[in-house]
Amino acid sequence: AFKALRDNLKRAGRLNGETELVLRQQVFWGFDNDERSVTRTKLNMFLVGDGHMNVHERDTIVDWGDGDWCEGAFQYILTNPPMGKYEGDEDISSFEFTNERRMELLFTERVIRATEPGGGIAIVLNDGALEAPSRQQYRQKLLEYCDVRAVVSLTKFAFAPYTKEKTYVVFMRRKQKADEGVRQGHPIWHYIVDYDGFANSDKRFRTKYHDDLPELTEFYAGAMRLLDEWASIPDQFEARRGEYEREVHDQERSEGLWGAKCAFVPIGAVADSNFDNLLSEFHLRPHEAVPMSLSDVEASIANLRGLMRELAGRELE
């Protein structure tokens, strides 16, 4: 990100000693409670020429509300928060989004509150955060405190071999204070990354045959610009939405995929009847119900029992 901003300033003829100093000292901030991660980050930033002076060892669930980590402190926050059970000592009774001691849920609220009204957020979340019925209140709060603009579904191997947990990047904009508590009305753009240029396996070697990221990069900026026209120029939105929506093509279908690759999902489809589900697959690739007769069900159960007996016999051997 530092290199991208520096290159953009240079191309625009705006990179000079003053702007570079601001870029090094006032733009990038980072927090982590792992001292080793902080050290590695500072080294990486130093190697690309950044000042790395605002990277701190800090538990931002506990250490909140003062100094540089407080309400509305940042214009943009990009984060891949830790996931799993929160075993810290922080009293979570003051959290509004959840009463569950899950790190990804608690961090989401901290991140939103640390972003200024109108600021942008990109956060990696797991599928449980976006679909579990028990976390419906959490998703309702997302839609009331932020405008969820895009959800990008990553492959389950995106972070392999460290984890194969299914994850999504959720792009949001924090609402203005006067709009907090009002559920968003605009649609959400979804894109499913089936292939990211690396093998879908624990061994993440690069492959030249499958890579959705160039298309995602090409579509994303235009889809977000069009989304801004949804309220002001609805006819324009409807006329052009097809530029950023598509069904899976023949090659993808031959590989077992179905439904849509990307589409705008109306907010009405995120409903109480589905616990405000935000999963891309739920909306773009729903499973069709296949009717079965009672005899078909009984035959399936008999086959399953036979398979279980066979497996049990192999275990005994």
Could you report the per-residue pLDDT of 17-52, keeping only the tens digit for each? 999 999 999 999 999 989 999 999 999 988 888 878
Q: Which residue has the tokens 């409903």?
A: 271
Residues 306-312, mean pLDDT to the nearest whole number: 84
142: Cβ–Cβ under 8 A, 6 or more apart, which residues?
A: 97, 108, 112, 148, 170, 172, 278
Q: Give 90-124 pLDDT, tens digit per residue.
A: 899 999 999 999 999 999 999 999 999 999 999 99
Measured distance CA(274)–CA(283) in Å, rounded: 11
Measured distance CA(133)–CA(275) in Å, rounded: 5
Q: What's the token pair of residue 296?
A: 């078909």
Measured distance CA(157)–CA(155) in Å, rounded: 5
Question: How many CB atoms lie under 10 A from the CB of residue 19?
Answer: 14
User: Global pTM?
Assistant: 0.88
Query: For residue 156, is pLDDT > 60?
Result: yes
Q: Give 74-95 pLDDT, tens digit per residue.
A: 999 999 999 999 998 889 999 9
Measured distance CA(111)–CA(265) in Å, rounded: 25
